Structure 1
Amino acid sequence: MPNPTHEVTIYRLSAAVPDIDAFLETLPGTYLDESASDDIAFPEYAGAGAVAFHWRRAPAPAPWVKAATRLIGPLPHDYETLDCGALLQLDVDGDRYAIGFGSGFRAVPEQFKDHGFGLRFTIRAVDADRVRSVVRRSMTGLGRQDATHVPSGIPIGHIGVSEYTELVGRLAGMVDPDDLGLDRGKPVRVEGSAGLRLRIPLDRDRLVALLRRISEICARTVPDDFAFVEAIAPVRDDWRLGDLDRRLDDRLRDAAGGAGDDTGTRLAAAVPMDLADLAHQARSHLIKIGSAELLCRGDLDLEVVLSRCRLQHRVPPVRALRRGEVRMCEDDEGRRVIGQASADKWLAAAVRVKEREYFLVEGTWYEGGSEYFASVRRKIAGLFRSAPSLSLPAWPDDLGPLPGSGKRGEAVYNEWVQDTLGKSSFLNLDRTGARTEFHGANGFEPCDLLGPGNELVHVKAGRGTEPFSHLFSQALVSAEALYLRRDARASFAKLVRDTSRGARELPEGWRPAKVVLAMKVNRKAPLTAATLFPNAQIALAHLAQTLAGHGIEVEVIAIPRDG
């Protein structure tokens, strides 16, 4: 006779709840507290501590009672005809699990759930070639959520998840029963998000053994096929969010820390994802944190943002940041606003807590493991060549605009490169626009320099590697537009011809074959895949992966500093 089973959702309780008394203190005013009658049981489990709650409400059938009785013990006879529920808590080798029957799942307080548990288990246990369903959400700020369901199973690589721009919130697939210690022949279907849904054995010893196997699987290294999932898992635990905000508060109060220090918290300026396409048009930024407004010409100055946060004495710096606003302007005076977002969306942060790394993106905290970032670095390491394919001159420290020019930064360097090496080698196309119906009146900036082999060269300078994420976004928009749209290529060909005054012509049928990201870092440490800010590493990996699908090569070149 086969061993009976019952499908349930298992939750693992976080470290926020120290003991059963703390759990009971949360019940007043909750679903369980509203029950007409409730009771507590202490079933005996070999090798595990157990406590169970059961209750009843208004009349309704309860088909789960027979299964729960095997695991909890005798329940009142009228439970089979009442709206009732049960919650079984098991402490197995220090990991606490909660299993709900009927409406029992409602009695688990949200602040006590380990919200990453179900997904963490699933991506370590599921066969990567037999994924049944994936629910993911875009990180573009548009709130888009997509679901893919394939009842027969499909390799994760065929589902089309964008590894670096989408959050996987739920995943279902098939698991080898031997891996779970179950004596059944067919693969087991599991579904993981915050909780883990699967069929459990209705035998106490077998259930403890299963939970012990679940703990062991959760401790494994995530397979490469699923490594991207944990990189952008949102943090939902209130206690962890509070801890991360407190750490960021401490870092924001540190006036002497600069953009990177030895406290384990790194900060970087960022551009909100829905404004990335407009970044090349920005000439200034208007910062409003607290009552004062400050104008920052050129790129957003992170230190100005941090100093405004530190001056807000009535509220914590993080709260001041979230209440503040940054406006992107297309003029130097901050009068013509082309985009705006809350100030926290203009800041990227990375915090390391023990073996986990957390990072702030678009005002939201995400969790990533060190193994994921190692895999990202491996993917982008090949973009940094020991011998660059193009030779860009060193950026003179004293390079400035001609009198009355008004140009700054990259614009001056790009013009100087063209004047120094000639239009046939590097044609200056900085602050020009290729026009299409899709990209609006101003079009899009195709590149800063057109290389000798018609490479699209994008140039950026910064005090660290942090400002480069939106450079990658700009390069992606440009390359995809020129590859996919005929009107974009026609406009670009005319732009090249007109700007060079006939000295340069794109060949018939041209499409972009190579994108070069030329970056100058004002610091002693060399520019490498490992020294990029984590968010910039992810953006670069996404850029390279996407353009590789079009057959477009990506290379990163460090522009040397003068002297």
Structure 2
Amino acid sequence: MIAGTMLREHQARREHLTIYLVKDAKLPDEQIVKIDRAKSPYDLKISEGVARLYAKKSSRPKLPDWAPFLVLNQDVPPDLFEGTRSEGAVLLVQHAGALFALSFGMGHHLINLDLVERDFGLRVTLNSIDPLKLRSLDKASHEVNPLHVRSQSARDADIFDLNIDPELDMVHAVTGTSEVAVFGEHISGRDALTINPPATLDDLPKILAEALTRRNRPLPERFAWIDNVHRVRDSTMIECLDDALTDALRSDPRPENLWLGEPEIVDWEMQTGYSFDQRSRTARHRTLQVDQLLEYIAEQGEKPSAALLRSISVHVNDANYQSIKSWTAYRCLYAELPMGKETFILRNGLWYEVSRKFADEIDSYFKRLDAEPVKMPDYQHANEGLYNESVAKENAGYELLDKKNISFGNAYDKIEFCDLVHDGRDLIHVKLYRSSATLSHLFAQGSVSAETFMRHEQFRVKLNEKLPATIKLHDPLARPKAENYRIVYAIATTKELPKDLPFFSKITLKNAIIGLNGLGFQVALARIDIDPDFLKTANYKPARNAVGSANSAVPRRSTTRRGGTQAPPTPPPAA
């Protein structure tokens, strides 16, 4: 009887353990733990290593905000609602040359999370999980406006059963069945490792050592693609990348892999230009370019830096020179910086780390892509619509379909078949390169219209009503032969295509091409040269005393004469 009692007393019960790995094992406790929120620590006895416990200070019980509404002036006992306390603790364990922080209850609020290793739990989990027995994963796309999604399964599932795209999605967390006995049956990982093993305090050293070993292993082949792209969230690493960006901005010559563009899609019909402040003397540029930003910074007597870019605004101006949208210049800057075996990308104010091997694989795909299939006129127009009209009007073989949207009762509602048709074969989609967001829209437009064209009779019937007589379909009810058409993505840019496309745009384009090829279409990429005069043109806000006069409708601008001789710009009005 006594032996049985002692066995029950020492039998390990299942414990919910949330484990963080601290970056630097030599850091003092007061940097890792928010001491002002914790009670005095206690050293605990443990089989190996050193363990110190910090308990969270308890706040005074607080009645819920809705309690007075129910009990004010009512005959109810005063202690009907007891209020709540948020108990929590952190256990720091030094073991195996590493420092771990285990949180209990609300204890994670005591941890300085800037000092823990990012993705520690994720890597341990991926190296410990049965790949066919996943239950959930958290993912985010690396689009300009990323979607954060949790995919769950009621039964054990393979990772690809959870709707993951290895090229377009980044995995942040995984939950599934553990293959490691000391971790228990189930395991989950993000920054922290979460497990429910049967354990006592003396079992911790063995558990922590196993976690550290698995964290340092390469990912299994089935999960290796997860290292292709991931967001940089370590604050120290971000500081280093910002320093490298500052060096790139100040270097001479400046690296070519820097762009300036809108971090999101805006209404091009309403905007007339961009400026870096709203003063009347400041130029309103037709396009965004890094050179313009650096010139502006120099005019302010400053040197470019990542920190300075966070304080400068990029304004979208309407016809009245008013700002209708603005972002920091840091958000508008796109940069690709190779460092060691990896490439780091700044987009929309966030840094991403890209495996160099993965980047090379994407680049090699485009070596098979047709370039310059159609020599198109230079771009020197205020917007794509005017350019398309000019091309169709002044050049033989082109038909204009821009803005001839087709209402169609599916998820896309109104579909634009293409902007231009050339020789009845090339379906051309035109876009002035402003940012990766505009390119994503361009590639999606080509994919959606081509797929709808092939799959839906009713769409072809409505399309045929808008097609010029020279290129009408003989029988819109018959499925077209995709091999008779070529989808052409025509991009107005000064960059070399496809080599100089932003990396994430290359991924989007690659997936669009694969889908179009699967339908039977040929796909090509065309660069539209931008007229140098167009790039140099700038408007200035009219002087206040000109508002309402006949001259107020005429923008002041710098001009460039044909032949390369630049005329002196019209001086901006006094501020």
1:77 corresponds to which residue? Answer: none
**Using a 3 Å threshold, how does the CA distance of structure 1 residues 270 and 54 change in structure 2: closer, same or farther?**
same
SS of equivalent residue, structure 1 residue 130: strand
- 2:368 is matched with 385
Specify the SS of the correspondent of 1:20: coil
> Which of the residues 73, 87, 91 maps onto 2:91?
87
Correspondence 1:24 to 2:36: no
Conserved in 2, the CA contact under 8 Å of 1:10 and 1:196? yes
Whole-Å separation in 1 of the counterparts to 2:372 and 2:342: 39
- Structure 1 residue 471 corresponds to structure 2 residue 439: yes
Stretch moving more, 449-458 or 406-415: 406-415
Q: Residues 33 and 416 from structure 1, CA distance in 2 versus in 1: closer, same or farther, beyond 3 angstroms?
A: closer
Which of 123, 136, 139 pairs up with 2:139? Answer: 136
**C-alpha contact 2:430 2:491 (8 A) present in aligned 1:** yes
Query: Alignment partner for residue 363 of structure 1, among 311, 334, 349?
Result: 349
Q: Name the structure 1 match of 2:19.
A: 10
CA distance in 2, matches of 1:311, 1:44: 65
Tell me the residue number matched to 1:159.
162
User: Which one of 492, 517, 527 corresponds to residue 489 of structure 2?
Assistant: 517
Q: What is the TM-score of this pair, normalised by structure 2?
A: 0.67
| Cα gap change, 1:361 to 1:211, in 2 (>3 Å) | same
Cα distance in 1 for partners of 2:324, 2:161 equals 38
Aligned to 1:539: 508
Could you tell me the TM-score, scaled by structure 1's length? 0.68
Identify the residue that residue 267 of structure 1 maps to in structure 2. Answer: 258
* Cross-structure match for 1:198: 195
Partner of 1:504: 471
Please point out which of 313, 336, 342 is paired with 1:350.
336
Q: Secondary structure at the match of 2:196?
A: strand
Structure 1 residues 40, 433: CA separation in 2 closer, same or farther (over 3 Å shift)?
Answer: farther
Aligned residue for 2:248? 251
| CA positional deviation for 1:419 | 7.0
- Evaluate the alpha carbon distance shift between residue 545 and residue 152 of structure 1 in structure 2; reply closer, same or farther with a 3 A threshold: farther
Alignment deviations for residues 449-494 of structure 1 (CA, whole Å, 9 cap, x no partner): 43557453335687xxx96763342131343256449786556444
**Partners in 1 of 2:186 and 2:461 — Cα distance?**
52
Change (3 A) 1:204 1:358: farther
* Gap runs ≥5 in structure 1: 61-81, 261-265
The whole-number CA distance in structure 1 between the counterparts of 2:59 and 2:438 is 58
Deviations 1:370-426 (A, max 9, x none): 344345446xx1x5427x4x983556xxx668xxx9689998799669977x53xxx
Q: Say if 1:287 and 1:305, in contact at 8 Å, map to a contact too.
A: no
State how far apart, in whole Å, the 2-side matches of 1:288 and 1:520 are. 23
Partner of 2:400: 429
CA distance in 1, matches of 2:192, 2:330: 30
8 Å contact kept, 1:450–1:456: yes
| Partner of residue 72, structure 1 | none
- Would the alpha carbon gap of residues 544 and 203 (structure 1) be closer, same or farther in structure 2, given more than 3 Å must change? farther
Matches within 5 A, 1:25-424: 25=31, 27=33, 30=34, 32-41=35-44, 43=46, 45=48, 49-55=49-55, 57=57, 83=87, 85-93=89-97, 95-137=98-140, 145-161=148-164, 163=166, 166-177=169-180, 182=181, 188-200=185-197, 202=199, 207-208=204-205, 210-222=207-219, 226=223, 229-254=226-251, 256-260=252-256, 266-275=257-266, 278=267, 284-289=272-277, 293-297=282-286, 299-312=287-300, 317-328=305-316, 341-374=327-360, 376-377=362-363, 381=365, 384-385=367-368, 388=370, 392-394=373-375, 422-423=396-397
Is contact 1:322-1:343 (8 Å) kept? yes
Tell me if the contact between 2:429 and 2:446 (Cα under 8 Å) persists in the aligned partners.
no
Counterpart of 1:250, as a letter, is D
Q: CA RMSD in A?
A: 4.8
When residues 417 and 321 of structure 1 are mapped into structure 2, their CA distance, relative to the original with a 3 A threshold, is: same
Q: Equivalents in 1 of 2:168, 2:508: separation in Å?
A: 8
How much does 1:362 deviate?
1.6
Larger displacement relative to structure 2 (117-126 or 336-345): 336-345
Query: 1:116/1:257 Cα in 2 relative to 1: closer, same or farther (>3 Å)?
Result: farther
Question: What amino acid sits opposite 2:487 in the alignment?
Answer: V
Distance 1:259 1:314, change over 3 A: closer
Return the alpha-carbon distance in structure 2 between the equivalents of residues 123 and 512 of structure 1.
45
Q: Which residue identity is paired with 2:18?
A: T
* Total equivalences in the alignment: 485
Contact 2:15 2:196 (C-alpha < 8 Å) held by counterparts: yes
Q: Which residue of 2 is the match for residue 71 of structure 1?
A: none
In structure 2, relative to structure 1, the CA distance for the partners of 1:221 and 1:159 (3 Å cut) is same
Q: Measure, in 2, the Cα distance between the counterparts of 1:412 and 1:83.
A: 65
Q: Does the Cα contact within 8 Å between 2:428 and 2:489 map onto a contact in 1?
A: yes
The alpha-carbon distance between structure 1 residues 311 and 172, as it changes in their structure 2 partners (threshold 3 A), is farther
- Other structure's SS at 2:53 match: strand
| Helix, strand or coil at the partner of 2:359 | helix
The change in CA–CA distance for 1:36 and 1:308 in structure 2 (over 3 A counts) is same
Amino acid at match of 2:238: L
Of all paired residues, the percent bearing the same amino acid is 18
**SS state of the match for residue 117, structure 2?**
coil
Call closer, same or farther: CA 1:7–1:335 in 2, change over 3 Å: same
1-side partners of 2:172 and 2:185: how far apart? Answer: 20
Alpha-carbon distance in structure 2 between the residues aligned to 1:377 and 1:307? 32
